[in-house]
A and B are shown apart, each in its own frame.
Chain A
Amino acid sequence: MSDDSVPLALPLPRWLAGSLEVTALYRELRKPLLRYLVCLGLSGDEAQDIVQDAFLGLQRHLKTGGAEDNIRGWLFRVAHNLARNRQASYHRRFAEPLDAELEILAQQATPEQAVLEKEKFQRLLSAIRGLAGSERECLLLRAGGLRYREIADVLGMATSTVADTVERAVRKLAEKCNV
């Protein structure tokens, strides 16, 4: 996990610095954000929309002098809330966020699937399906490169709770997959 959330070295005008910083962050964080949103159960198009909205929000946030520490956590939190709002609007559609997707995934051969043996892959999918919602979300954010403090910020938990949840979730996966 890297902690390099693009502090600028040159003393640029604030609006220009903000713009450059947002561009750099967009390059760095677009894919992790998309991946997180897709794994939450959104479609590719919806994830794209939310990422765009989150970065527009970031631009405004920086222009209006918002806090510049932990921008990565800020972006994930905004994207997470936007995704949750969308899921609330279409509750039935996203009632089972990851489960339906995992079913699809289980039927499709991908290069990643080739890396893990098929049987192990199936066990892993089954184990992920068995995780609690908060455990999945913690692991998804952790897979997106967020520190425990940032995950806590996104999900509105205490950092110690995040540590316990991640520990429990990884242990569950390891035990069920028997890896």
Chain B
Amino acid sequence: MCDAQLKLVAWLDGEVPTDEAAAIEAHLRECETCQARIVAYKNASEGFNLCCDALFITKAKAKTLRWVPAIPVAAAAVLILSFVVFSRRLAAPPSLPEVSPVAVSTLSTVPTPVPVPSPALHKPVHRKPSRPPAPQSVQRWQPAERAVEIAIPAESIFAPGAMPEGMRIIGELRIGPDGSVRQVRFRQ
């Protein structure tokens, strides 16, 4: 085993003091074994670097693909929202009186149950006043009909191959009395 062998990598990295480096270089001129080792160490170092690069590129690619579906869906949602809000604001003249929430809730398919007062057959029971129940239409809202339908071709939003062929994403919006969007739901 050559004495200089132990410091060949450090010499390759320029981490050996000048006098020691000169001794190693002198040895290398004579020792073919160490010359071969130097080549092997260089190759090993380059191979390691290439592996790191390959891993880095592989992960970067994986990251890009993973986010591809999210961005177009978000872009489609923004487009649909802005179009619907804009079209509703154009349709409603500003001088009109404010539309009550009840009138607008006709979009809902599930009607809010109207409490029917029953005749007081028994002594009225005093109960702790409770909050009026939240309108169930908010939770169970289903669109009766499509007032506005916008079709956006997948190719214009998604990267080629990102969206399976024949797949549709339908966005349903509920518009409040002031023209703002109250509820958004996406389904296939």
Min Cβ gap B40→A in Å is 4
Q: Which residues does chain A contribute within 8 Å of B6, judged by CB atoms? A: 167
B51 touching A125, Cβ below 8 Å:
yes
Q: Which of A38, A39, A112, A171 gathers the greatest number of chain B CB atoms within 10 Å?
A: A112
* Contact present for A38 and B10 (CB under 8 Å): no
Query: Bound state CA distance, A179 and B44, in angstroms?
Result: 7
- A12–B127 Cα gap in the complex (Å)? 76
Instruction: From known contacts A163-B10, A179-B43, infer whether A39 and B15 are also in contact, taking CB-CB under 8 Å.
Output: no
Contacts of B60 in A (CB 8 A): 44
Mask of A162-179 contacts with B, CB within 8 angstroms, 1/0: 010011001101100101
Q: Is the CB of B41 within 8 A of A174?
A: yes
CA distance A179 to B36 in the complex (A): 10
Count of interface residues, chain B, beta-carbon cutoff 8 Å: 30
Q: How many A-B residue pairs have CB under 8 A?
A: 99
Look across to chain A and name the residue whose beta carbon is closest to the beta carbon of B60: A44
Give the CA-CA distance A167 to B10 in the complex, in Å.
7
Which listed residue, A38, A105, A120, A173, touches B48 by the CB 8 Å rule?
A173
Q: List A residues at the B interface (Cβ < 8 Å).
A: 1, 34-35, 38-39, 43-45, 47, 101-102, 104-105, 108, 110, 112-113, 115-116, 120-121, 124-125, 128, 139-140, 142-143, 147-148, 163, 166-167, 170-171, 173-174, 177, 179
